[in-house]
Structure 1
């Protein structure tokens, strides 16, 4: 088997409109397609991340909460690459998003930090 790249990342949110606002207006992702699936009473929002990746944002009635932060089994966090970490952090903070202190990756010596989406999903900014 030859895996070429990651095709998409799926996220289930608790409040569709709040999460849509966060991912589109706070993070600046582009809407590719929005679909309401009546049989599931669920939205699926396809969001472009740059030119290569896509996030699928799902809403479902009464989804279970994340068991812990961030060390639960399963997806640990989602990381976005940025050119200028200081600028990205400032932009998030100006929008009222709490951001952890910037740290240095001891292996790559690159700078990174964490913040959370409206449901507490850990998101990382990793400097290029």
Structure 2
């Protein structure tokens, strides 16, 4: 039986730039960083406060991700936040461009999108505080 999402893997174009974005700007905790010489590839394990993880990979010659028009496959990665407006302000102070805040017509929750250094769509989605 499936319990939760353990991790999401992302392949980046510029490892140092993406490492800085996810660990320094977004504040994800670095769990492990390994260089795999046989593949000329870095693997960086990052953790969110709830224990879920992102794996950041670099591969020589990896093609760019098509995003517009939207391609089949993973559409975006969404992060739960308690306050979208405050998170947007925090992202903008870090120099990250963020789309205007929208309201989900089905749930009434606030959300918006921004992109990582390779154009991967990232979403912040407002959730209720856990009691």
- Asked if TM exceeds 0.5, the reply is yes
Aligned-residue offset at 1:69: 3.5
Deviations 1:80-127 (A, max 9, x none): 001111111001111111100000001111000000000000000001
Query: Aligned partners of 1:124, 1:3: CA distance in 2, in Å?
Result: 23
Aligned-residue offset at 1:70: 6.7
Q: Which runs of 4+ in 1 moved over 3 A?
A: none
1:50 alignment counterpart: 49
1:88 alignment counterpart: 87
Query: Aligned partners of 1:96, 1:51: CA distance in 2, in Å?
Result: 25
Bigger mean CA offset, 110-119 vs 87-96: 87-96
Query: Aligned partners of 1:80, 1:70: CA distance in 2, in Å?
Result: 23
2:10 alignment counterpart: 11
Structure 2 residue runs without a partner (length 5+): none
1:39 alignment counterpart: 38
Deviations 1:41-60 (A, max 9, x none): 00000000113200000000
Aligned-residue offset at 1:5: 1.0
What is the TM-score normalised by the length of structure 1?
A: 0.96
1:70 and 1:76 in contact (8 A); partners too: no
Count of aligned pairs between the two proteins: 127
